[in-house]
Amino acid sequence: MEFDPRRTLLLYAGSSHPELANEVGKHLGVDLSNVEIQHFADGEIYARFLTSVRGADVFVLQTHSRPVNENIVETLIMIDALKRASARRITAVLPYFPYSRQDKKHLAREPISAKLMADLFNAAGANRVMSVDLHAGQIQGFFDVPFDHLTALPLLVEAVREDVGSDVVVVAPDAGEVKDAEKFRRKLGPEAGLAIAHKRRDPRVHDAVDTLGIVGDVAGRVCVLVDDSISTGGTLAAAAESLVANGASKVYAAATHAVLSGGATERLQESPLSKVIVTNSLPIPPEKGFPKLAVVSVGHIIADAIRAVFEDESVSGLFDGDN
C-alpha cells in the first residue's frame, strides 16, 4: 500500500490485544510502531514513544477487555503522550468501547459512565475516535470530536449465511436490539423472518434477565439471535430456551463482542444454542473458548476504516451506510 510521502501514518497498540493490532497492521501494510509501556512498583502506568511522532497521523488501537480500568488509563496516558509530542492527529481506535452499557440512567443517583469515558478521551487529546458496534448509537453524541462507528454486521451475516443459509428467523433478544436485528434480516435476504424475545430485566440486579415470551412465528425454523455483546450469556441462553420451547428447530447466536464474563462459557455451552458466532474485537483466552464458539475477524474492517480516515475518504461508504 502506498501513502502520500508528505504524510506519515503510525499505528500503535496498547497492551490489551496485540494480536488484533498486528492483524490490522498487516492489512494496512504497515508495522506497529514502538512504544514502551511499563508499570511502576505502585501500579502506575508509564508510556513513552520511541520514535518521533511530530506531524504524524497516529492511530492508537486498544480494546477494553479485562483489566478494563487499567486498559482505559493506559490508553489515556498514550494519547496524552502523543499530544505532548506534537502528533498532527490522534485517533483512538477502540474496538470495544468501555462502559458502553452505562449509556443512560435507569435509577436515581446513577452515573452515565459512557459519557464520562467520552469526556476522558476528549480531555486526553483524542482528535478522533473509532469503535465497533456500540451498545447504543447515542454514545457518538457524547463526543466533541468526530466519531467513526464501524459495524461487524456484514461479517456476521456472511458467517451465518455460510453456515445455515438465508432461510432463517432473525431474533432480537430484547426490544433494544430490534433495529439491528432488522438490519441483519435485510442483509440476509427476503426469505429471512424476524421475531422478538420479550425480556424483563430488574435494573437493581446486574447481569440477570428473565425471558418471558417470543413475538413471531419460529416453529420449525432455524433461529439466529443477534446481539451487540455477550457478557454473562444469560440473555442468549434464556432466549434460546424460549425459542426451543416455541418450536424452533435450531438456535444460533451472532454477536460482535465476546465479553464472556462470569460463567458465560459454561452457560452457553450447556444452552440449547447450536453455535455462537462472535468477532475478535476482544481477546478470547483459551480458557474462555468452548466447542460451540466460532470467531470471525474484524481486523480488515478496522484497517479499511483507518485507511479511509488517513486518506480523507468516506468511512460510512465502506458499510453502505449501515454503520
Fold: same for 9-151+299-318 and 153-296:
yes
CATH code linked to domain 153-296:
3.40.50.2020
pLDDT at 213: 83
Collect all residues with Cβ–Cβ distance below 8 Å to 291 and sequence separation of at least 6: 269
Cβ–Cβ under 8 Å, residues 177 and 157: no
| Of residues 178, 305, 3, 162, the one with CA closest to residue 170 | 178
Beta-bridge partners for 214: 197
Give me the DSSP letters along 1-12: ----TTS-EEEE
**What's the whole-number mean pLDDT along residues 108-136?**
97
How many whole angstroms separate alpha carbon 168 and alpha carbon 162?
12
Cell numbers 473509532 correspond to what residue? 130
Q: What is the pLDDT of residue 175?
A: 82
pLDDT tens for 183-236 read 999 999 999 999 999 866 555 656 555 556 899 999 999 999 999 999 999 989
Percentage above 70 pLDDT, the chain: 94
pLDDT mean across residues, the chain:
94
For residue range 83-98, what is the model confidence (pLDDT) as tens digits?
Answer: 999 999 999 999 999 9
Identify which has the larger pLDDT, 209 or 110.
110
pLDDT of residue 21: 98
Cell of 201: 430485566
Domain-wise residue ranges, the chain: 9-151+299-318, 153-296
Taking only the tens place, the pLDDT of each residue in 32-80 is 999 999 999 999 999 999 999 999 999 999 999 999 999 999 999 999 9
Angstrom distance (rounded) from CA 250 to CA 234: 18
Collapsed DSSP state (helix, strand, coil) of residue 185: helix
Is 199 an active-site residue? yes
Q: What pTM value is reported for the model?
A: 0.92
Q: List the end-to-end C-alpha distance of the chain, in Å, as a whole number.
A: 25
- Rounded distance between C-alpha atoms, residue 24 and residue 2, angstroms: 16
CATH code, residues 9-151+299-318? 3.40.50.2020
Distance between CA atoms of residues 144 and 305, nearest Å = 20
Nearest residue to 165 (alpha-carbon basis) of 224, 110, 243, 109: 224
Query: How many angstroms separate the CA atoms of 176 and 194, rounded?
Result: 14
At 182, is the secondary structure helix, strand, or coil?
A: helix
Annotate 64-84 with DSSP letters as a single string. Answer: --SSHHHHHHHHHHHHHHHHH
* HSE of 203, CA atoms in CB hemisphere, 13 A: 8
H-state helical runs in the chain: 18-28, 68-84, 113-124, 153-164, 178-188, 234-245, 264-270, 299-310
Catalytic one of 199, 250, 288, 292? 199
